Amino acid sequence: MKKYLSLFWIFFKVGAFTFGGGYAMVPIIQKEIVENAELIENEEFLDIIAVSQSLPGAIAVNTTIFVGFKLYGILGALMALLGTVLPSFLIILVLATFYNFIKDIPSIQMFFHGVRPAIVALIFMAALKLGKAIERKTFNLIIAVTAFIAIAVFNVHPIFTIIACATAGLVYTKRKEKENGVS
């Protein structure tokens, strides 16, 4: 039972102290699970992020469920999920109750004004950290640049970009296996 409570507490801290949604949570989950608790290797976490991004739903919730399940099965997934969403649920419940009273308070507006750039920095740091775990191959660079251009320049929906990149990866891997005589 201790391992489940420990997992709950890790994700409760992540959920309680992360502003900015799922992408802002990714580097904090990585820091807590990979670096601090050493429950998962960085390469495995990168794979979890890739799968979580490809599934419907928020990336932080998907990652939380995946990590919890990977570590401790269904109960682990439930404890991690509960730990992640409970702080947000409680905060939103309180804020919704008092929103009309606090929305025009200058310090509240300044708080959110200051948090926004920090969220961008968190997402950027997550991209840098996760990018370090990717093998330095020409194919990987081509995929990353092509995906970025497709989304940023041509406004291709991320889902189509993910499907196209996954398909390219499958084709590339199959060709490499065929060239190397692996079946």
Residues 6+ apart with CB under 8 A from 153: none
Residues 46 and 113 in one domain: yes
The amino acid present at 144, given as its one-letter code, is: A
| Higher pLDDT among residues 56 and 167, named by residue | 167
Residues 178 and 90 in one domain: no
Residue 93 predicted with pLDDT over 70 = yes
- Rounded mean pLDDT, 91-99: 86
Residues 164 and 130 in one domain: no
Residue 182's pLDDT is what? 67
pLDDT tens across 101-131, in order? 887 889 888 887 888 888 888 778 878 877 7
pLDDT tens across 123-167, in order? 788 788 777 778 888 999 899 999 999 999 999 998 899 899 999
The token pair at 72 is 């401790």
Residues 48 and 75 in one domain: yes
The three-point CA angle 33-39-40 to 5° equals 85
**Domains: count for the chain:** 2
Residue 72's pLDDT is what? 96
Question: Which region among 40-54, 89-103, 117-131 has the lowest average model confidence (pLDDT)?
Answer: 117-131
Instruction: Give me the chain's average pLDDT, please.
Output: 88
Residues 167 and 120 in one domain: no
Residue 75 predicted with pLDDT over 80 = yes
Residues 79 and 121 in one domain: yes
Cα-Cα-Cα-Cα dihedral sign, residues 65, 132, 129, 150: negative
Look up the pTM and report it. Answer: 0.61
Question: Which region among 18-27, 38-47, 71-80, 141-150 has the lowest average model confidence (pLDDT)?
Answer: 18-27
Residues 128 and 113 in one domain: yes
Residues 90 and 143 in one domain: no
Residues 34 and 114 in one domain: yes
Pick from 16, 39, 14, 40: nearest CA to 28: 14
Where among 117, 134, 151 does a domain terminate?
134
Residues 89 and 171 in one domain: no
pLDDT band at 183; cut points 50, 70, 90: low
Domain that holds residue 145: 135-183
**Residue 41 DSSP code:** -
Burial class (CB in 10 A: 0-12, 13-18, 19+), 30: buried
Residue 77 predicted with pLDDT over 70 = yes
Question: Which region among 7-21, 29-43, 127-141 has the lowest average model confidence (pLDDT)?
Answer: 127-141
Residues 93 and 155 in one domain: no
113 vs 1, 11, 20, 105, 155, CA distance in Å? Answer: 41, 26, 12, 13, 27
Residues 95 and 174 in one domain: no
